[in-house]
Structure 1
């Protein structure tokens, strides 16, 4: 059984700071504005040889004007259901509040092993102030400082006693698929439709998802990790600090992923903002696919999809190796085919082509259409081999590598793509002297 620790509490008590400390990454966004963490975040932690999942939740509130409040509450309740152990965090500096008392009632009803942790106990005086939380009747109050790490070791010693011997980080070596795109294009709805549960909060307001959220998923017998990200928008439009960090988190998710699924709004088409996300993915050598969402809203005849596809490919220019799939997340049209395509692309990225096969296939193509002579000199390509690399990389050995120009390089790239399954994958060619 999985070992799961859920960190819960009212807003702004320092849950995300502790979460980041436990997983040893700056993964959750921290800000002094309450309600920053809206969804559940998952990360992996290890203490004294025991591995466990940590869930960071949104601050539990009631009666605020935040339209996300009821959904945050729902997310907290889901986290409590999943948890093996609950860490109830309160603020020793702010003292006991009515919201803490309400929360304590819910936790008592959950019957899960619960640790009452008084955060921000950075001084002896604040450690004494933490004693007022004994009034909640939840047993021992453990004073800690998420910022400095004070008291967290002792706390973890007690928590892991409730855990089984966990396995290594289960995410090692599993394909990571990042769901990217402009705000409000349907990324969280796509994830929720796949999972059949409300894993991310979905509303029609752009910018609901502020952090990158990882979910382990199995489809067609294959395991992978889906990352839902905040929408990446133009720098000029990134006003709040929080949104700035959200965009950074999305870029980080892009860097960490193996395949980027770029969602495009069918009604708006491929815009400059989508192109900048694609360029970024190409820069980081990522496998890429384009998922045109909201296709159900387009009036169609038999040629609509072909015409639409051609217009996207024109905008892509030399990146026309990126596959395009038409979906409707709300109608669940082709969403599973989209994931199947992403897994296929991941496999293409890791392709290893035997040298004999490469030469037997590509050298006859070169003989039929040799490199154009330059300054009366003839270029002879003798031999091709695949080099190790993050993406499929090929070395062409020839007598005059410096004379091979871009159009011919493009010809060779197209021949390799056509003969070997490399759809959706950037490839690299090198020319070396034989």
Structure 2
């Protein structure tokens, strides 16, 4: 197993910056604002032949007993319990604070080894910047700069030399699904219901989740990766810089997933923003499952209204399965997995060329493409051009004249014939070249200066004659 390293410290000491440095990514949001990271955030890294798992945590405020900071402290303590090693990060420019002493006392009570990292030490005398932190009694402090990378490799080598090299792991081949939707529709509550634990903060306030959180788990003998995302608001509502980055992270998570679970709120009407989030999924070509949450809290009138809204506003999601669930009570949550598995299998399916060509011929027999003037597009054969989503490439002549309506007809025909429930399908046209067509010889492009000289010589010749 890979050793797990948890990053712990006060808000705004550079934990997320160090996380990005250790994972060689930009997966954690970074800004000069305390309390930006709120949930545990996992990432993979490697030094030489030694891989590791690193956990970014929210700012640890051990003295609070309510509100969002209390929930963040609970998440940090859970990360400490899960970790094999802890990196306690302090701010070398701020110096030792009373909160640092409280956190150090908490960490000393545990059984996990702790390394003390004095961050933001670039350009400073290392002996001077680390001297006051010996008072914490956590061994010799290591001066680092997470933003510049100074001392980080030394710190990692000290941590990893305690752990044996793990056996090589195969690349995961399992469904990766992302939970998306507007703010406060119950996405994090659904994640916790799926996992059977309070894995992410579920707080009764929109915008609690800001980052995209990746979590690996096992259910009914199958492996999955679930991604919790920030709620996507209307563009006019997104004014905070951090929230703008959260929307970007959500869109990136959709592209990184195989299946998206769109969460709707049964107690509210289907809004244009719900349709916009669904369009993000379709643009990325991802398989889709729709979960209508808070079904237990909706009145009969609200239930009837949301079903009418789905039929009217989300008719373009007719390929997806809809589930009416209660994430808070856990009702209907287990039924989502059958649809997720089916959508994943459909998105990753591989169809032989002869079967695709026969399906194309059947679609043509039912309905020919319309004439474009005096020409009717001719479609000869089809083959698969990719997965996630499935792509069907059709070869023929005059295919640039195929209208959008017939394009959609072909997509629905392939989905129906091959029973690709839960995934969109894309059709691409490729014009076949005629081998007997005589192409005009390419004309040589002369340099403008050469052309001028050439004209001058012709003029001289005519004058002599």
| TM-score normalized by the length of structure 2 | 0.86
Matching residue of 1:428:
426
Give the distance between the partners of 1:230 and 1:328, measured in 2 at CA.
20
- Decide whether aligned partners of structure 1 residues 357 and 128 sit closer, same or farther in structure 2, where only a CA change above 3 A counts: same
Instruction: Give how far 1:369 is off.
Output: 2.9
What is the alpha-carbon distance in structure 1 between the residues aligned to residue 340 and residue 113 of structure 2? Answer: 40
Shift of 1:15: 1.1
| Cα deviation digits, residues 85-106 of structure 1 (max 9, x gap) | 1111111211111111111111
1:406-431: CA deviation from partner (whole Å, max 9, x where unpaired): 22222222221111122222212233
What are the residue-to-residue correspondences of 1:127-166 with 2, within 5 Å?
127-166=127-166
- The offset of 1:401, in angstroms, is 2.4
Deviations 1:121-172 (A, max 9, x none): 1123364121111111221111111111111111111010122313557765
User: 3-state DSSP class of the match of 2:147?
Assistant: coil
Partner of 1:260, secondary structure, is strand
Contact 1:190 1:329 in 2 (8 A): yes
Question: Displaced runs of 4+ in structure 1, greater than 6 A?
Answer: none
The whole-number CA distance in structure 1 between the counterparts of 2:66 and 2:310 is 39
Which residue matches 2:457?
none
1:50 aligned to 2:50? yes
What whole-Å deviation, never above 9, does each CA across 1:244-290 have from its counterpart, x for those lacking one? Answer: 22222222212221211111111223211111112122222222222
5 Å-filtered alignment, 1:177-326, equals 177-300=177-300, 308-309=306-307, 311-326=309-324
Q: 1:339 to 1:363 in 2, by over 3 A?
A: same
2:188/2:202 contact within 8 Å kept = yes
Q: Distance in 2 between matches of 1:401 and 1:36?
A: 51
1:339 Cα deviation from its structure 2 partner:
2.8
State the shift of 1:45 in Å: 0.9
Change (3 A) 1:217 1:376: same
Look up the match of 1:175. 175
Are 1:381 and 1:397, in contact at CA under 8 Å, matched by a contact in 2? yes
Name stretches of at least 5 consecutive residues in structure 2 with no aligned partner: 433-465
2:11 matched to which residue of 1?
11
User: How far off is 1:432 after superposition?
Assistant: 4.1
Q: Cα RMSD over matched residues?
A: 2.4
Larger radius of gyration: 2
Distance 1:240 1:277 in 2: 19
Is 1:77 paired with 2:77?
A: yes
Offset of 1:242 from its aligned partner? 2.1
Structure 1 spans left out of the alignment, 5+ residues: none
Q: CA deviation at 1:389?
A: 5.0
Counterpart for residue 405 of structure 1: 403
1:330 aligns with 2:332: no
Which piece of structure 1 moves more, 324-333 or 196-205? 324-333
Query: 1:393 pairs with 391, 394, 399, which one?
Result: 391
Structure 1: distance between partners of 2:170 and 2:140: 33
